[in-house]
Structure 1
Amino acid sequence: MKLLYSNILPLGIEGNQQTIIDCFTEQISRADRVEIAVGYISTSSVNELASLVEKCGIKSICLAIGMYYIEGMPERAYHTALKLNQKWLNMKIGEIRLIKPFKYHGKLYCFYKHGKPFAAIIGSANLSAIKLEAANRRQYEISALTTDTSEVSDIAKHIEKLKQPLCSANIADITDMPLIRETNTALDGIELVTSVPQSNVEFYKQCEASVSFFLQLKVPKADERFLDDGRHFTKSNINVCYAAPRSRRKARDWYETQLTVGAEIYHMEGYPEKNKPFFVVTDDGYWFKAHTTSDNNKQFSAVGDELIMGRWLKGRLASAGIVKPVNNTAEDTNREGMITQEMLDEYGCNRLLFKKTGQTALDRDGESLDVWFLAFTSDTYEGE
């Protein structure tokens, strides 16, 4: 057995000591198959593992994760793991599994060559230890490398038991996975937007609706991103940023968004009057003023800043790891930042709940405005 360390002062590496990261990298470079069972992961460590698997030519890989099915999994990590699982399945080299019947807190890494396990790492290090970042840079871990044939064999057998259907399932086959929503930072520090406590959000969420509407998000399928067949995916709605720029010198901001409401909604009784402002409280704790505009009041937008609605809506998808914000839409020739049906399906929601709460609040001018609740999660639809 050889001890492995973190390299954090004042306990820096000495003499012949080796870090956990260096040992993991060394062993995976010698392997053609890797079996891993850990309690937790991070988005960065999953991406790092994917990179190492490709770089080292790993032919077989399985990552079993032990704590999330019961505790809930951060949505960014979940969507990242889901995509990598599908990639490995398509390549027929492996999968990502979640342990279901209990919270598994072990940390095991087993390395194989030509069908036989030759080394294993055991200790306190979750997968995040293979990729240092701000969140774990000062977190000290200790592990051990063993090449003892009997010990390595026992670890390999233990991981194989965890992979059995009685203990775990492929992440894509789990339909009741509890997700922990990530914080949308795209609205941080934005003028005209304030944060409200979760208790306030719950109050408005529980208010009996005087009227409510479902606002469908109109987006193309992934293979329709470049079509110009009259559906105008780039000329309105949440992908308007890909329409022709207003100025030759400046591309549209990726967060520019128009929520275009269908006639079957804006003709309904109780829908907000044109240009009559109201307050919106969102299901994730933001508060801003909004209104309806354009012909037949079909455009639903924030007052004073046309990017607020996009920062809220697209920011949610970005924080979940489903799409990456685009710095320059004119240079996004592959339209990777265009919101598609597949992205909304992955997020688990393709419409907004827009509910009049029956409550009012005073604006800065002392005017009493209606308060509406706006939600972008299917969890909120229960009972609606």
Structure 2
Amino acid sequence: MELLLSNYQPAVFKCNTPKDYMEEALKICETLKIASGYISSDALIDLKRIIELNGRPRLELLIGMHYFDGFTKNQYEAARTLNAFLQINDLGFVYIANTLKFHGKMYSFTMIDATKSAVVGSSNLGSLYDKVSRQYEADILLKGEESSLIHASLEEIITKIGSPFENVPVTKFVEFNQLLENHENVSKVDKDEKAGILRNLTGVKFEIPIKSKPKSNLNPYFGKGRENQRGYIAPRPWYEVELIVSKGITSQPGYPSNQTFEVFTDDNWAFKCETNGDYSKNFRSKDDLKILGKWIKGRMEESGALKMGTPVTDNVIAAYGRNTIGLFATKDPSIWYLDFDASK
């Protein structure tokens, strides 16, 4: 038995983290059983991409709480997409707990060489993929015979508490879950603070085009991913985004070249962005590329223009109703205003 801890300062111990173990296990995992109380839409889409790129693991997933507490449309559609992919490729099933709530977090791994392990603890599925969040997780890792009880229990929990996804109709959804709500390194802006930002606009403005490149800009999820020496391919996260801005824009006077700055958005969020690369062509959220991605792609999803797991195309951009993001200078060079309101 081993302890897995997030190991963020100041609570650092000599042990693996849940993320480290999950990453290593997925590289050699043949089958994976999961029972998790809560799921996130992007965790499901990223898990689908892992299986898609590597041809494994075979997956059985129980979603434990959402039938009772409510799915967002994004969560439900992501689960539907994953379930359909698994069944079409004979790679497993998604189950929904509909007899009673399941609030645990249990993971059972069978490796390529038939050895087994299991993880039980605090880590939700999404927290095992998130490389940026500093929420502290604590889990127990069991290997070999120690894991047998978890394997047997998971099989019974999945089949006795849950039903196959397609047998559990869901027609009512909770209000769309704001992706940036309570997100690390993102703050909510009140109306007085926003009014102050708008009063300080200088008139300098850049329109950054939204591009539908198949494997970059808004679509790195569909790229090859990151391959290690063993041949395992880790996908790029669904919300990972980096805007590639043309030299014709970045060379204009006043553009924030090779800078880090705070942005305030038209829908009342604030977070750090940066520009870098040749001619400052890369425009990205600082430290976590998913923040800018959640802001852009999340709004497309909420409008109905973009479905999770599908590319941002010209048709998606047209359906959203806007093909540029406005970048506005303020009197403070360390603060900029971003606008992606499709109603304008």
TM-score by length of 1: 0.47
CA RMSD of aligned residues (A): 3.2
Distance 2:55 2:300 in 1: 39
Give the 3 Å change call, closer, same or farther, for CA 177–109 of structure 1 in structure 2.
farther
Determine if the alignment matches structure 1 residue 175 to structure 2 residue 162. Answer: no
User: Structure 1 pair 178/154, CA: closer, same or farther in 2 (3 Å)?
Assistant: farther
CA gap of 1:56–1:7, structure 2 versus 1, over 3 A, is farther
> Structure 2: which amino acid aligns with 1:20?
P
SS at match of 1:76: helix
Contact 1:184 1:316 in 2 (8 A): no
1:163 and 2:163 correspond? no
- Could you tell me how far apart the structure 2 residues matched to 1:121 and 1:18 are? 12
Q: Is the 8 A contact 2:118 2:143 kept in 1?
A: yes
Letter aligned with residue 143 of structure 1: D
Distance 1:313 1:113 in 2: 38
Contact 1:318 1:324 in 2 (8 A): no
Cα separation, 1, equivalents of 2:104 and 2:177: 28
Indicate how the Cα distance of structure 1 residues 96 and 6 shifts in structure 2: closer, same or farther if over 3 A, else same: same
Q: 1:179 to 1:118 in 2, by over 3 A?
A: same
**Aligned-residue offset at 1:176:** 3.2
Give the 3 Å change call, closer, same or farther, for CA 49–76 of structure 1 in structure 2: same
CA displacement at 1:178 relative to structure 2: 4.0
The one of 309, 316, 329 aligned to 2:303 = 316
Q: What CA distance in whole angstroms lies between the structure 1 residues aligned with 2:131 and 2:305?
A: 19
Cα pair distance change 1:106/1:116, threshold 3 Å? farther
- Which residue of 1 is the match for residue 48 of structure 2? 50
Which residue of the other structure, out of 73, 78, 81, is the alignment partner of 1:80? Answer: 78
**Structure 2 Cα separation of the partners of residues 49 and 92 of structure 1:** 16
* CA distance 1:86–1:19, shift in 2 (3 Å): same
Amino acid at match of 1:99: A
Deviations 1:144-175 (A, max 9, x none): 111141x32211111111232x4212223321
Q: Give unmatched runs, 5+ long, in structure 1.
A: 190-311, 327-331, 340-384
Listed as ranges, the gaps of 5+ residues in structure 2 are 180-187, 190-298, 320-344
Task: Indicate conservation of the 8 Å contact 2:31/2:109, yes or no.
Answer: yes
- Structure number with larger C-alpha Rg: 1
1:32-43 aligned within 5 A: 32-43=30-41
Structure 2 CA distance for aligned equivalents of residues 57 and 313 of structure 1 = 30
Amino acid aligned to 1:7: N
Q: Which moved more, 1:67-76 or 1:55-64?
A: 55-64
Distance 1:26 1:65 in 2: 23
Cα distance in 2 for residues equivalent to 1:169 and 1:80: 17
What are the superposed Cα offsets for residues 42-87 of structure 1, whole Å, 9 maximum, x if unpaired?
Answer: 1222223223323443152111110111111122121112111111
Matches within 5 A, 1:324-335: 332=314, 335=315
2:97 equivalent to 1:99: yes
| Equivalent pair of 1:182/1:320 in contact (CA under 8 Å) | no
Equivalent residue number for residue 5 of structure 2: 5
CA distance in 2, matches of 1:125, 1:87: 25
* Paired AA for residue 77 in structure 2: H
Instruction: Give 1:141's aligned residue.
Output: 137
User: How much identity, in percent, do the aligned residues show?
Assistant: 25
Q: Deviations over 1:122-146 (max 9, x none)?
A: 1111101122277xx1321100111
Once the 2 structures are TM-superposed, how far is the Cα of residue 318 of structure 1 from its aligned partner? 4.8
Task: Check conservation: 1:34, 1:58, Cα contact below 8 A.
Answer: no
* Residue type of the alignment partner of 1:123: G
Paired with 1:41 and 1:163, the residues of 2 have a C-alpha distance of 15
> Is the CA contact (8 Å cut-off) linking 1:39 and 1:107 kept in structure 2?
yes
